[in-house]
Structure 1
């Protein structure tokens, strides 16, 4: 751990200073693109206006014999497009793979000036972030990059979840974290082949004391981990995200999982299929009725102190803070989405 005095100092001579505050950005969905597929790369110009983040995926779901092609495809995709307000990310291969080092050595010099975030899979502890932090600083310095590239960790091992707070505190490059439910399930020895979402066998039975038929109430397999991740991220000013939902045919279950994550504090989720884009956009944008009520609270308590009654409900300093979270997010959404700006009245 660096000392407080050195925490924001660049790790290489000539590298840009890290951000002291995360750049303000709307990131309701991180949309995954397989860059080795030319047909998918061709859709990126149209995609840029529809999503908040375009991510070139180099890791899971990319065949071993297509890894180099995916890396080259991402570089070309980054060079061919202007992303403007839309974030450009890549998920590199994990640290113990034979492709990770080349991912960094080729991508950063070629398109590091356009790249906002590197998503690092299977982060197990702060040592993984320290290694990437130092390497990025050296590559930025060598390539003359003026804006620091941020790091986003995926929690997908039991050890990573155990060390989540240390990971959050590891570097000023930290952007946030995502839940990686499939790999995490395997790491924990969980008995499920689903990618995110619930499981009908993970349930609590109703009481049988009255002799009536018992009802099973399905529980959320990921509640504990999402809550732990949210607490770690927000404690250090980072952004928490739900990860993938693999059943593209079950929009209702996907929306339920995304909404649970949103209510618990997540700012977005991964979209792996085009039909999940609008779903994530809707779920991770605050409800207009909630925004309207939150605005009432802020207007009734301009300095954030005291207590007032609004629509028969008591509001005080604490609810003012809750309202501000909602209105701040609504303003951010409105800055990019003209339709919602009109609905919100912002």
Structure 2
């Protein structure tokens, strides 16, 4: 699967073999083995061993596999880099990125493309340069850390960080990179989660990062093309004859045809 087509990207502690085993049967588009926030300090070594074992065992099918490592400011970074260099992960995830050089260093040390997490005001302001770094494959928004850095209460609505979210999307699109929305913390609120997915999709995010398997189906449904949109895209492509013209009460031109074809191509990746 192409990274740009990923709808559901699930974080799992690499120290939890049961969760990793279950992920092989989930419909998520990316499994992200976490060595960072999801793992307590005393279990970092267990997590590295778990990531090595999981990658060696394989069985993830068409799902993309990523590894989130600890930052260079931590004592665990060097060993994480050694693991990242050795295992067959498609991508590395680097948290708390504020400079493009941080991505360049990890990409050079491991030979793997890096997904940069934007989690601070400095990261938001540098997002365009970070996205433009050749080693950057995509941007994630770390909404929890971003709220904390901004001094925003955890229960405050998304409108409080809307400028930051749109800035990161703009930075990724300007560089031609994929971009993914932050996690939703309330596991017993599927309606709230779906609403946030729809808001993220409307802002231009390609998909959403997740923290629980129960969130996968909703993310796939919201960020994947629905049948009504696909049917309209097929009709538009079939009806278009070139140039500006009327289609079902609206004016369309080449850009609309290209968008419809892109939607149909995206659907083919999901077997739709």
What is the TM-score normalised by the length of structure 1? Answer: 0.74
Per the TM alignment, residue 275 of structure 1 is displaced from its structure 2 partner at its CA by: 1.0
Aligned equivalent of 1:230:
169
Contact 2:169 2:179 in 1 (8 A): yes
1:100 matched to 2:74:
no
Higher relative contact order (Cα pairs below 8 Å, separated by 6+ residues):
2
Matches within 5 A, 1:247-326: 247-301=186-240, 305-326=242-263
- Alignment correspondent of 1:167: 130
> How many angstroms apart in 2 are the aligned matches of 1:83 and 1:98?
30
Deviation of residue 167 (structure 1)?
A: 0.3
Flag as ranges the 4+ runs of structure 1 deviating above 3 A.
22-26
Query: In the alignment, is residue 328 of structure 1 matched against residue 248 of structure 2?
Result: no
The answer as to 2:53 corresponding to 1:76 is: yes
Corresponding position of 2:13 = 34
**For the Cα contact (< 8 Å) 1:27–1:268, is it kept in 2?**
yes
CA contact (8 A) 2:24 2:61 kept: no
8 Å Cα contact 2:147/2:161 also seen in 1: no
Q: Paired residue for 1:183, among 123, 136, 145?
A: 145
The separation in 1 between residues aligned to 2:223 and 2:21, in whole angstroms, is 27
1:65 deviates by 0.5
Contact 2:117/2:139 (<8 A) preserved: yes
**Corresponding residue of 1:129:** 103
Question: Per the alignment, in what secondary structure is the counterpart of residue 262 of structure 1?
Answer: helix
Q: CA–CA distance in 1 between the matches of 2:82 and 2:108?
A: 13
CA positional deviation for 1:25: 6.1
State whether residues 12 and 38 of structure 2, in contact with CA within 8 Å, keep that contact through their aligned partners in structure 1: no
- 1:165 Cα deviation after fit: 0.6
Q: Contact 1:168–1:236 (CA<8 Å) still a contact in 2?
A: yes
Structure 2 unaligned segments of length 5 or more: list them.
none
CA drift of 1:81 comes to 1.9
1:177-214 per-residue CA deviation (whole Å, 9 max, x = no partner) reads 11101111121222x124xxx52xxxxxxxxxxxxxxx
Structure 1 SS opposite 2:43:
helix
Give the direction of change, closer, same or farther, for the CA distance of 1:274–1:95 in structure 2 (3 Å limit): same
- In terms of fraction of residues, the more helix-rich structure is 2
Max radius of gyration: which structure? 1
Q: Between Structure 1 and Structure 2, how many residues are aligned?
A: 272
Unaligned runs of 5+ in 1: 1-21, 138-148, 200-218, 335-340, 342-346
